[in-house]
Amino acid sequence: MAAQEADVGGVSEAPWNDLIAASAREVFEIMVGSKLGPADASRQGQGGVTAMLGFAGKPCGVFTVRCPWAAAAAVAGRMLGVSPDELPTEQVCDAVGEICNMVAGSLKSRLNDAGAGCLMTTPSVIRGVDYEVRCLACDRCFGLIMEFEGHLLAFDLELQAS
């Protein structure tokens, strides 16, 4: 998804991808003990595990984090201080859900600082490889792919225009 600036949810001309990237980097440095870097634009992010949560208010929409299973296990392993191979499926899914929650929470805080006010839902996690997640009511999409220890993670924000 291309970087866009727009008046969405009462936040005018917000550099949305910059807000998402700053939030993701902050969470990964604190909770995962690792830095996120930009990904090669020619590489595509894949599904495998997707965590999503909703924003209600201004702005209103859906935030998702998606990555291949190996990336999800690597993130969970770093968060929990164990080898990714030692983790049961539930802990990997819980870790990705918590990453989604924390990145969205950081994003929400940044939006509140910019004058928006919204609430967040509890994250939901989906596992699989052949699925598409999209918000039917949303008409603005912002997203980026970042790299974590050689793995790709996609961060997407779909919003309703105000």
The confidence score (pLDDT) of residue 13 equals: 47
Please choose, from the candidates 37, 67, 36, the residue with its C-alpha nearest in 3D space to the C-alpha of residue 50.
67
Sequence letter at residue 21:
A
Q: What share of the chain is helix, strand, coil (3-state, %, to 5)?
A: 35, 35, 30
Sequence letter at residue 119:
L
Beta-carbon contacts of 12 under 8 Å, excluding residues fewer than 6 positions away, are none
Question: Is residue 79 within 8 Å of 32, Cβ to Cβ?
Answer: yes
Question: Is residue 46 within 8 Å of 152, Cβ to Cβ?
Answer: yes
Domain count, the chain: 1
Please choose, from the candidates 47, 63, 37, the residue with its C-alpha nearest in 3D space to the C-alpha of residue 159.
63
Distances (CA, A) of 31 to 35, 36, 56, 62, 72: 10, 12, 26, 22, 14
Can you give the residue range of the structural domain that contains 113?
A: 5-159
Work out the number of other CB atoms within 10 angstroms of the CB of residue 26: 17
Q: What is the CATH number of the domain that holds 101?
A: 3.40.1550.10
**Mean pLDDT within 122-149:** 86
Mean pLDDT of the chain: 85
pLDDT class of 97 with cuts at 50, 70, 90: very high
Interval 44-86: pLDDT, tens: 666 789 999 998 888 889 999 999 999 999 999 999 999 999 9
